Structure 1
Amino acid sequence: AAGPEEVADRLVALHGSDPTTVFLGVGARLTDPAQAVSATERALYEGRTLVRMHGMRDTVFVFPAALTAVVHASTGLAVAARARAKLVRDMAAAGAPDAAWLKEVEESVLAALARRGQATAAELAEDEPRLRERFAYAPGKSYEGVHTVSSRLLRLLGVEGKVVRGRPLGSWTSTQFRWALAPAHRELDVADAQRELLGRWLAVCGPATEADLKWWTGWRAAEVRRALKALGARPVSLDEGTGYVVAGDAEPVAAPERPWAALLPALDPTA
C-alpha cells in the first residue's frame, strides 16, 4: 500500500487498543515500511484522515475518517446508551451527583476542548475541577474500587462519538493520549449503516459464520441477520457450518505463486 489511509481502508479498521499495533500493522503493508510511523502520525494527528475512536465491541480502533459516521450509527449509538445508563447507575449507587450534574460537567469539558484544541485529562481538570471527583465503584463487592469522574466521563464521551483520542504524550508507543473534539459526521440510519459496515468487512475477511459476525460487530443476532439479508450475502459451506460472502465473492481464491509469510502485530485485524 502507498499510505496508512489505503491500509485502513482495505482492512476496514486497525485495532487501536495497543498504540503500537496500529503502526506495526501499517508498516507490515506499506511499500516503504520506514514511513509507517511518520505517515501514520500525520494521518492521525495532522490531516485527520484516520480517526482513533471506539467502535465494534466497545473497543478502540483506527478508522478511515470517511467511515466514522457508519461506525457511530451501526455500533456506537447502542453501546453509548448502555454506557451512559451504567455510569449514572454507578454514581447513584455510590451517592455521587446525578445525571443533571454529569451533563453540566460534560458540557463544560466539551467547551474546554473547543478552546484548547487538544488536552490531557489533567489539563481538562484544571478547567473543570469536578472531573477530579471520586466515587466508589461496586461498593461491598470483591472488585470494589474508586473511579474518578474524569476516567469514566471521557471514556463515555468517546463511546458517544463526541471526543476522540488525539496525539499521545511522548512517542508513538505511549498509552497516554490527549483528547480532542470528534470530527463532525453525518447522521445515518442504523440499519443502513449496519449493512454497509458488514458488507465492507465481509468483502475483506469473508467468508464468515453468523457467530463470527456477531462477535466482530458486537450486535444482536437479529441485527446481523437483518444486515446479511439487506446486503444480499451469499451462503457458503464451511467446516464450521454455514458462512456468508458478499455477492460475487464465492469463487475459490487462487493460491499464491510461491509460499510467503508476514510478521504481524498481536492485535492485527486479520490475526
Structure 2
Amino acid sequence: MLKFPDERRRRRLAQRHGLARPYPSVTAAAEAMTALHATEAATVHLALWARVADLTVDDVERALYDERSIVKQLAMRRTLFAFPRDLLPAVWGSAAARVAQQQRTLVAKDLGANGLADDPDAWLVAAADAVLDVLGDGKPRTTAQLREEVPQLATKVLRGAAGSKWAGEVPLAPRVMTVLGAEARVLRAENAGHWRFNKPTWTATGDWLGDPAPAPLEAAEGYAALVRRWLWTFGPGTEADIVWWLGATKTIVRRALADVAAVAVALDDGGTGWVLPDDAEDAEDREGAEVAPWAALLPTLDPTVMGWKERSFYLDAAHTPYLFDSNGNAGNTAWWNGRVVGCWLQDDAGEVRVVLREDVGAEASAALDAEAARLTAWLDGVRITNVYASPQMRNALLP
C-alpha cells in the first residue's frame, strides 16, 4: 500500500484549500472546498476571505444572491452549508434527503404527541402546500412573514418533560421550513439582515434556480458524487472521516468509495486513508512545486478544520479542549504551515488578535500578526458574534 505521510497531507491541504495560494474567485474557492459551512452566516464570508485574492463582501453577496453560483442548503448532520450550484442535485438526493426524512418524522411525532393532528403526515402536506402557494407569487419571505400568512405555521408544540426547566412551547414554523428546505422545495434567498447574521428569506426552488429546477440524483449516485468531491478536497481521509462528515452510515460510505473506485493509502498513524484513482500523488508533487511558509486565520466552523474527524495530522490533541466546544464544533483557529497553533478573536475595538497555544517562533508569530492586521482592516469595524465560540475564544486563556 502506498504511504501518504502527514507532511504531504498538510501540503495538499495548503494547496487545495487555497491557504498557501489563494483562488481567483468565490466560485473557484467554493468548488475547491466542496462545501462551505454556513451555520454561522459570517463563516461563509470569512472562509472565502482566507482563500480568495482581493475579496470584498460584495463579491460574496453577488455569488450568493445575484449569480447564485453558491447556494445555501441544509444537508450533512443537519448543518447548513453553501454548496457550489452544480452539487445541489447530488446533495438533494442523498444527505439532504436523509435529514429531511429525520426532521419530518420528528415534527410528525410532536404533532401527534401534542394532540394537534390526528394525521400528522396529512397536516404537514397541507402546511407545505400552503407555504408553496404563498410563495407562488415569486416574492421571498422570512419565516416570520410566512407565519403571518400561513395559519399552520403559527402552531406551537410543547417540548420537554412537563414541570422541567426545559419544558415550554416552541413554534413549529422554523421546523416546517427546515423540512421544506431539506426536501429542496424551498431555498434560502436574500438575507434580510446584515451579512454576519442568518436572517434568511425563503423562495420556491424553481424561482431561485430557474424553472424547471434540476432533479435530485438517486441516493447512491448522490452519495458517490459527494464522496468524489470530498476525496479531492480532503483526501486522503479515513472511512471514519467520511462517515462523520456525511452524517451517513458505514454501508453508505463503503458503497460510495467502491462506486468512485477509491484507492487505499497508508497513513502515518497506521490507519488507512482513501484517495481518488490516480490522485495518490499530488499533481503539485509531480511538478516539483514547493509550498512557501504560510499563515491563516480561519473562522468558526471553517470547512478545513471541520473536514476530518481524525485530526492528528494537523491538530495537537492537547489543544482540542481549548479550540473546540463540548460538541466538537471548532471556534476560530490560527494556522501555521498546516497545523492549528491557536485561535483568533476580536477585542472591544474590533481589532483581531491571535492567541497561541504553543511557541511557534518569530517568523510564524510575525506572519500571524500580519494576517490579524489584514483581517482587522477587511472587517473595518464589523464585530463578529460567534454562537460556537471555543473556550479559548470565550476566556482568552493563555498557554
- TM-score norm. by structure 2 comes to 0.64
Cα deviation for residue 193 of structure 1 reads 1.4
User: Is 1:194 the equivalent of 2:217?
Assistant: no
CA distance in 2, matches of 1:16, 1:105: 26
Q: Partners in 2 of 1:168 and 1:208 — Cα distance?
A: 35
Q: What amino acid maps onto 1:246 in structure 2?
A: L
User: Is 2:293 the partner of 1:259?
Assistant: yes
Partner of 2:302: 268
Cα gap change, 1:240 to 1:89, in 2 (>3 Å): farther
Q: Which whole-Å CA distance do the structure 2 matches of 1:48 and 1:243 have between them?
A: 34
User: Match for residue 205 of structure 1?
Assistant: 234
Given that residues 76 and 160 in structure 1 are in contact (C-alpha distance below 8 angstroms), is that contact kept between their aligned partners in structure 2?
yes
Per-residue CA distance 1:5-49 (angstroms, 9 max, x = gap): 11111111100100000001111111212x2x1011111112221
Aligned counterpart, 1:171: 194
Q: Deviations for 1:119-154, whole angstroms, at most 9, x for unmatched residues?
A: 011211222122112111234374333221212111
Residues in 2 aligned to 1:225 and 1:71: alpha-carbon distance in whole angstroms: 18
8 A contact 2:138–2:204 mirrored in 1: no
Partner residue of 1:102 out of 124, 139, 161:
124
Matches for 1:126-141 after TM superposition, within 5 Å: 126-140=148-162
Query: Residue 50 of structure 1 contacts residue 64 of structure 1 at CA under 8 Å; is this kept in 2?
Result: yes
Matching of residue 155 in structure 1 with residue 178 in structure 2? yes
CA contact (8 A) 2:148 2:154 kept: no
Between structures 1 and 2, the one with greater helix share: 1
Q: Please give the alpha-carbon distance, in whole angstroms, between the structure 2 residues aligned to 1:83 and 1:113.
A: 22
Give CA-to-partner distance per residue, 1:102-126, whole Å, 9 cap, x none.
Answer: 3212111111122142101121122
Distance 1:232 1:162 in 2: 33
Query: C-alpha separation between the residues in 1 aligned to 2:292 and 2:87?
Result: 35
| Deviation for aligned residue 1:202 | 0.5
Does residue 54 (structure 1) correspond to residue 69 (structure 2)? The answer is no
Runs of 4+ aligned residues of structure 1 deviating over 2 Å after TM superposition are 138-145, 251-258
Aligned residue for 2:201, secondary structure, equals strand
Shift of 1:270: 0.7
Q: Secondary structure at the match of 1:214?
A: helix
* Deviation digits for residues 62-101 of structure 1 (CA, Å, limit 9, x no counterpart): 0011110011112111221121111101111111123222
Aligned to 1:241: 271
Between the aligned partners of 2:36 and 2:77, the Cα distance in structure 1 is: 14
The structure 1 residue matched to 2:111, chosen from 63, 88, 91, is 91
Aligned partner of residue 274 in structure 2, secondary structure: strand
Greater Cα shift, 94-103 or 212-221: 94-103
Change (3 A) 1:175 1:22: same
The answer (yes or no) to whether the contact 1:113–1:180 under 8 Å persists in 2 is: yes
TM-superposed deviation, 1:156: 1.2
TM-score of the pair, normalised by structure 1: 0.93
Q: Is the 8 A contact 1:210 1:243 kept in 2?
A: yes
Gapped runs of 5+ residues in structure 2? Answer: 1-22, 306-399
Contact 1:117 1:181 in 2 (8 A): no
Whether the aligned pair in 2 keeps the contact of 1:94 and 1:137 (CA below 8 Å) is no
Residues 118-129 of structure 1: pairs in structure 2 closer than 5 A? 118-129=140-151
Q: Residue 247 of structure 1 aligns to which amino acid in structure 2? A: P
> Is residue 90–residue 138 contact of structure 1 (8 Å, CA) maintained in 2?
no
Letter of the structure 1 residue corresponding to residue 295 of structure 2: A
**Alignment RMSD, CA only?**
1.7
Quick one: percent identity of the two aligned structures? Answer: 37
Task: Work out the CA distance in 2 between the residues paired with 1:100 and 1:186.
Answer: 24
Aligned equivalent of 1:70, options 90, 101, 108:
90
Q: Report if the CA contact (8 A) 1:25-1:265 is conserved.
A: yes
- What amino acid maps onto 1:66 in structure 2? D
Q: Residue 185 of structure 2 aligns to which amino acid in structure 1?
A: K
**Which amino acid is 1:195 matched to?**
A
| Structure 1 unmatched runs, 5+ | none
Q: Deviations over 1:162-210 (max 9, x none)?
A: 1122222221112222112224222312111111110111111111111
Is the Cα–Cα contact under 8 Å of residues 214 and 221 in structure 1 kept in the other structure?
A: yes
Q: 1:138 to 1:109 in 2, by over 3 A?
A: same
Matched, 1:224 2:253: yes
